[in-house]
Amino acid sequence: MSEKGVLDGVRVLTLEQVHALPWGTGFLADLGADVIRVESPDHLQDRKAGPFPDGKAGEEWWNEGGNLVYYGTRNKRSLCMDVTQPRGKEVFLKLVEKTDIVTDNFRPGTMQRFGFDHDSLSAINPRIITLSSTAYGYTGPWRRAGSRARTVDAACGLSYLTGYEGGPSMRASNNYMDHSVGNNVAYALLLALYQRKKTGKGMRVDLTMLETGVSAVGPAILEAQKGITRDRLGCAHWWKAPHNVYPARDDDRWIVIVVSSDEEWERLKEVMGFPDWARDPRFDTALSRWRNRHELDQLLGEWTSRQDDLEMARDLQEKGVTAGACITARDLVNDAHLQEREYLWEFANPQAPEVGARVFAGRPYRDAGNPMTLSKVAGLGQDNGTILTELAGLSQSEIDGLEADGVIFGAPRPDEPRP
Amino acid sequence: MSGILSELRVLELANRPSGAFCAKLLADQGADTIKVEPPGWGDQSRQEPPFIGEVPHPDRSSVFLSFNTNKRGITLDVEQAEGRKLFLRLSQSADIVIESYRPGRMAELVLDYETLAQENPRVILVSITYFGQDGPYADYQGDDLVAQAMGGYLYAVTGSAAKPPMGTALQQMEITAARNGAVAVMAALLRRDQTERGTHIDVSTMEAAVSTPSGLVHPYTYTGRNPHRGGSDGNVMDGMHLPTLDGEVTLTTAGTGGRPMQAWAEFLEEPGLTDPKFATRGGRMEHWEELHSLVAPRLAQWTNLDLMRETMARGLVIGLVQTPTQVVESPHLEERGFFVELDHPETGAMLYPGSGFFIDGDNAMAGNRAAPQLGEHNVEILGGELGLSLRELGLLRAARVI
């Protein structure tokens, strides 16, 4: 990157685990902030989570997982330090003096136990912004409950509304809410920085997964208050038909076709070569197509099942019908559109030379004024020395002492179980 | 509270859920957000069911109402020369313009970034489309389901392995694209403070879909295996939904100190769960029907809120599969003050979700305005702010410009 990132000079200390918060602070790191991931030697789950080449963790497994590149320590620095020890805590608080943002995703109470609650940090640095990303927040009867992303997909109403037509509710995803929450974390932190420029004062952000999830299902929240129930429809639609996923020729290949108007229906008929069934007056109007959608889906599915999904989708789009092949991860890597937009990034992590170059999903927007690149991925404790010297003002012998006494770490403990 | 973005003006020319939700995120933080709708039918989502009160009406669509809080609304036909002129005048005082036309259409209308920036170099233009501004699919048509399909989400994430792909409800790819757009806007605003220059942001809903699962792309490039849907199939302890007295719940093996079956056997008072065949994840999947027959009757004796309280007390981690009604009536959300009440002339007062974060204890939802009625602020904005006389407004109305 030739010019400096917009957040150059902004420092973030993050006590983060799993997914939502690392995804959120990753945006700030992409934008040039100095994001320091403070990692505990006793909680290396994220570094065990992989994915590893061919599913096998290598010699330096703690630096080899793909999730680290995708969001875990992308463009961040790593300080592996036990902040529960007095000297670790002391160093952490020294760093807070030179920090703009402290984030965590512990359950409410943990930061206070460490002495890292907002009031304590604010006493050291009144400009500090703290954000806690939790499942249910710092107040309310559920504040002590643990969570997984999918338990929040459930609690916010999204999973109840998700399911095959006529079938039971289904888990919406394993971790959709992690990403939605990560995006909200990035938005809230950038808002906080924007506000601080005006006021000069720090602030406290209590951000929750549950509430971010509820904010994403607003229509159903309004409907519920007026007694309207939203039926589960699978890939079908409230008023469009055809609007579904249809089988293609090859095994487990599928296509989505969406018709929003009579004109589009005419174009679809033309692509199909005006088969007899499609001339049936039952399919002539939006309302009659929707009423007869099960039969329509069946007949259309017979047509789609004779063809290649990718060719069919291209053909339909070129003739003005909204359609898309239901593609796999392998297809994504080879997708001409994503390649031409330079969405996919190939990256060889210098901290994991055995892994070699791999392809990753890139950033989901472009802004020529704020370019984002992948420049580094922090290995465990890789930046201990520079951070402690430059920011905490420690001498080399003090740093050596912390390492000898088991306060900071450059690798997992020898007896750490392998993933 | 007045809102962090209260000194900013946003013009929304979106007509798609992603652009509308992106503008809403800014409006809810206090930005003066003007939704520009085509005269006549207005935003497409005004016509989408379901309607509050079940009566089809352009001010009663639940999607429209929920995606357009805290905005003012005008009608303006930017396809007509006079409409474009007025839009350009409005854009001179705008900090952010959000649009979702097919790529190239803004240039045909002479409303592209270069044109807008000529008059207002500080303007930030956000284009949110299904496939982005360039590339082979740029001119393709999309919707949320197409984005799920072409982003790899539909195949891999939600449905059952033995069934066709099935997606997530309620247009979540549109929502994610909108959130990406809002992040990009905030970064551009901070950049603008340094450079005095705006920018053109290109958001793709397909790319939002690719980024949304924990990673479709790199799990494949690391392992050579395609992620495949079906992760909750037969997964009693970590994925399935199980009935309770008044709803459903999903369990996890978290919070059990690595001895999930002992912990759950104790809690559910069902010693059969400690049978060695359920000890490993693989064993639980293999014998899932038997496991289900032990767990389900026990859970069915609990109400949702009791189960939540008691599992929480023991450190077990569950998720209530709440209906939207249960969410609205949630004692937890009520105690936190998450919902805000907004009044609306057609629907009356209703509770709307907050932003998902509280700042210094306050729900970060500035403003108290429900979605605008079609053309509600024409006189206020085009008359009051652009200085058109009532006679001129009448002429524009006759010419169907407003």
d(CA A246, CA A235): 10
| Complex-level ipTM beyond the 0.95 threshold | yes
d(CA B366, CA B32): 11
* Total beta-carbon pairs less than 8 A apart between chain A and chain B: 487
Given CB atoms, is B196 within the 8 Å cutoff of chain A? no
Residue type, A60: E
Given CB atoms, is A150 within the 8 Å cutoff of chain B? yes
pLDDT at A149 (0 to 100): 86
pLDDT tens, residue order, chain B (402 aa): 579 999 999 999 988 999 999 999 999 999 999 999 999 999 999 999 999 998 899 999 999 999 999 999 999 999 999 999 999 999 999 999 999 999 999 999 999 999 999 999 999 999 999 999 999 999 999 999 999 999 999 999 999 999 999 999 899 999 999 999 999 999 999 999 999 999 999 999 999 999 987 779 999 999 999 999 998 899 999 999 999 999 999 999 998 888 999 999 999 999 999 999 999 999 999 999 999 999 999 999 999 999 999 999 999 999 999 999 999 999 999 999 999 999 999 999 999 999 999 999 999 999 899 999 999 999 999 999 999 999 999 999 999 988
Q: Cβ B215–A221 below 8 Å, yes or no?
A: no
Q: Summarize pLDDT for B66-107 with one digit per residue, the tens.
A: 999 999 999 999 999 999 999 999 999 999 999 999 999 999
- Residue B302 tokens read as 């609990």
Domains of chain A: residue spans and CATH: 11-216+341-404 (3.40.50.10540), 243-333 (3.30.1540.10)
Compute the mean pLDDT over every residue in chain A, rounded to the nearest whole number.
Answer: 95
Strands B71-75 and B32-37: parallel
What residue of A is the nearest CA neighbor of B203? A365
What residue of B is the nearest CA neighbor of A317? B140
Q: How far does B339 lie from chain A, in Å, by closest CA?
A: 9
CATH of domain B242-328: 3.30.1540
- Residue B338 tokens read as 């998450």
Given CB atoms, is A147 within the 8 Å cutoff of chain B? yes
Q: How far does B48 lie from chain A, in Å, by closest CA?
A: 8
Q: Cβ A141–B177 below 8 Å, yes or no?
A: no
Given CB atoms, is A194 within the 8 Å cutoff of chain B? yes
- The residue written with tokens 């005008």 in the block is B74
Given CB atoms, is A120 within the 8 Å cutoff of chain B? no
Helix boundaries (H) for A85-148: 86-97, 110-114, 118-124
d(CA A171, CA A151): 9
Q: Cβ A368–B199 below 8 Å, yes or no?
A: yes
Using alpha carbons only, give the angle B331, B336, B338 rounded to the nearest 5 degrees: 95
Residues of A within 8 A of B361 (CB-CB) are 204, 206
Instruction: Tell me the CB-side half-sphere exposure of residue B215, using CA atoms within 13 A.
Output: 27
Compute the mean pLDDT over every residue in chain B, rounded to the nearest whole number.
Answer: 95
d(CA A228, CA B53): 8
pLDDT classification of A176: cutoffs 50, 70, 90: confident
d(CA A172, CA A159): 5
If you ran DSSP here, which 8-state letter would residue A379 be given?
P
d(CA B99, CA A414): 55
Strands A203-208 and A129-134: parallel
Domain boundaries, chain B: 9-213+372-398, 242-328
Given CB atoms, is A49 within the 8 Å cutoff of chain B? no
Q: Which of B4, B155, B212 sits opposite A191 (nearest CB)?
A: B4
Q: Summarize pLDDT for B126-154 with one digit per residue, the tens.
A: 999 999 999 999 999 999 999 999 999 99
Instruction: Let me know: does A163 contact A172? Beta carbons within 8 Å.
Output: no
Instruction: Let me know: does A75 contact A375? Beta carbons within 8 Å.
Output: yes
Name the region of B262 (left: φ>0; alpha: ψ -120 to 50; beta: rest).
Answer: alpha
CATH 3.40.50.2300 for the B9-213+372-398 domain, yes or no: no
Instruction: Tell me the CB-side half-sphere exposure of residue A410, using CA atoms within 13 A.
Output: 11
Q: Which DSSP helix (H) or strand (E) runs through B51?
A: none
Q: Cβ A194–B189 below 8 Å, yes or no?
A: yes
Residues of B within 8 A of A69 (CB-CB) are 218
In degrees and rounded to multiples of 5, residue B40 shows phi and psi of 100, -95
Q: Summarize pLDDT for A274-305 with one digit per residue, the tens.
A: 999 999 999 999 999 999 999 999 999 999 99
Instruction: Let me know: does A256 contact A245? Beta carbons within 8 Å.
Output: yes
Q: Which of B135, B201, B360 sits opposite A203 (nearest CB)?
A: B360
